[in-house]
Amino acid sequence: MQDRHDLLTAAATALDHPSPLLDRAELEAFVDSFLQRRQVFLDARRRHGSPLYVLEPQVLRDRAEQLVSTFRDELPEVSAYYAVKSNNCPLVASALVDSGLGLDVSSGLEWELALDCGAQEILFSGPGKTEAELHLAVAHRDWVTVLVDSFAELELLERTAGAARASVRAGVRLTTNERGLWRKFGILLADLPRFLARAEECRHVVVGGLQFHTSWNMGPDNQVAFLQRLGAALQDLPAGHRAQLGFLDIGGGFWPPQGEWLQPAGTPEGKLREAVRPEAEPVAPSLAPHRFPARPLQDFAREIAAALRTHVFPHLDCRVCLEPGRWLCNDAMHLLLTVLDRKADDLVITDGGINAVGWERFETDYFPVLNLSRPSLEEHECYVMGSLCTPHDLWGYSYFGTDLQPGDVLLIPTQGAYTYSLRQEFIKPLPQVVSV
Ligand SMILES: Cc1ncc(COP(=O)(O)O)c(C=O)c1O
């Protein structure tokens, strides 16, 4: 009964407090910034066909520079590693390595990519590392630090390195949330003393740091809260163990400053409507997308640095490592499509399907669809769909342009994060990547 009451209260609160709307002027400025450069994209389409992933390496270089300078303004020693899983296109990793970043890899596949693009510094993180992957880490020990995920993995790494009579640099990942799905990552903070004591006995693994990662952070609160907990745990560590910890990897999870843009169906109130009336028509396509704000990177850097000074630096003299993915690559890759069929005034089919992004992203996330062939800041309602045999193959419920006709070239901007690396072989061929 109490549960029912709590649920109904939560539902009423969601309905009474609709999610904030995306400011129209902000949206138009975003659209305009791409329309200004429409010729660059149209040229790429003419030369390479469509569908196409269009990569802007200069955006990656600018982000890398901004990331490092923002954190170096606040902290004495900072190293940055690009989380390859967020976009595993080799051109993305190469551009970031050329800009001076290391790479954070989580599998043998990502290892190959890191070695191919000449990364000088590699972090190897993630749960369930295989023996073959650890062999690779031992073989490339001059460049790699293994972020150990469990006690068992420490033993496996010790055996693997011991068999090669080698010594491997390592750190240990800490669990940030002891409940639910995030339990799978790292060891409990309470087990850190036991882990470091066991690591001391391992002659082939040198544990020299700590790692944690929190995700989907619209501001620095999650990182700051964990740093506070970490500080309390560090206080109780023997001085010898503290002295051996020379780096603290605070992970990634920084949200891009434009915030999260959502279709009505992606908001809490939209999800609620869908759950209680699934047979109803989907929430009508709307020209009023929502926006959940994100704090700028400067705020993350300032507040994380303050938390480090208060909670961590009194106990550890350490370098700070960053492992961002999304913040670096989100704005650097776009999708180009061509309209194949206009089935109704408000329904078109394009040549590219959402297998290029790997998930039904646009039913919940909002990104403007720009008609580069008939540019305009006017937005019109229209189902813009792909050519896969699934009704979920949707790019958006509207487009910016004066009209939409077969042969028109469409741009879906800022599709750089968790799209390319989730792409799937499904029905239609995958687009090629071109750099502009
Ligand atoms: C260990 C680790 N580090 C860094 C990242 C990158 O996160 P983001 O792309 O949100 O910055 C991830 C993402 O899953 C991760 O698992």
CATH of the domain at 79: 3.20.20.10
Predicted local distance difference test score (pLDDT) of residue 277: 77
Is the CB of residue 253 below 6 angstroms from any atom belonging to ligand 1? Answer: yes
Decide if 4 is inside a domain. Answer: no
* 15 part of a folded domain: no
- Distance (Å, whole) CA 349 – CA 342: 6
The enclosing domain of 412 has a CATH number of: 2.40.37.10
**Within this chain, do residues 307 and 370 fall inside the same structural domain, yes or no?**
no
Same domain, 126 and 254: yes
Ligand 1 contact, 325 CB (< 6 A): yes
Closest residue CA from atom 1 of ligand 1: 213
**306 and 202 inside one domain:** yes
Query: For residue 417, which atom of ligand 1 is closest to its CA?
Result: 9
Q: pTM of the predicted model, to two decimals?
A: 0.96
Residue 98 lies in a domain: yes
> What separation in angstroms does the CA of 241 have from each of 77, 169, 237?
21, 15, 6
Q: Tell me how far apart the alpha carbons of residues 436 and 426 are, in angstroms, rounded to a whole number.
A: 27
- The Å distance, Cα 425 to ligand 1 centre, comes to 24
Residues 167 and 219 in one domain: yes
Q: Which pLDDT value is given to residue 286?
A: 66
Decide if 38 is inside a domain: yes
Q: In angstroms, rounded to a whole number, what is the distance separating the alpha carbons of residues 117 and 342? A: 43
Q: Is residue 8 part of a domain?
A: no
Beta-sheet strands, E only, within 221-269 = 247-249, 260-262
The answer as to whether 397 is a domain residue is: yes
Structurally, the chain folds into a number of domains equal to 2
Q: Could you say which of 297, 329, 361 is where a domain stops? A: 329
Answer yes or no: do 184 and 215 share one domain.
Answer: yes
Range of the domain at 126: 57-260+285-329
- Strand extents, DSSP E, 56-198: 78-83, 102-105, 122-124, 144-148, 168-173
Mutating to test ligand 1, I would choose from 79, 81, 82, 86 the residue with most ligand atoms within 8 A of its C-beta, which is 86
Q: Domain for residue 142, yes or no?
A: yes
The predicted pLDDT at position 273 comes to 86
Centre of ligand 1 from the C-alpha of residue 171, in Å:
16
Residues 34 and 76 placed together within one structural domain of the fold: no
Q: Average pLDDT of each block of 10 consecutive residues along the chain (436 residues)?
A: 85 89 96 98 98 98 98 97 98 98 96 93 97 96 97 98 98 96 96 97 98 97 98 95 97 97 92 80 72 98 98 97 98 98 97 96 96 97 96 97 98 98 95 98
Looking at ligand 1, which atom is closest to the CA of residue 326? 9
Tell me what pLDDT residue 186 has.
Answer: 98
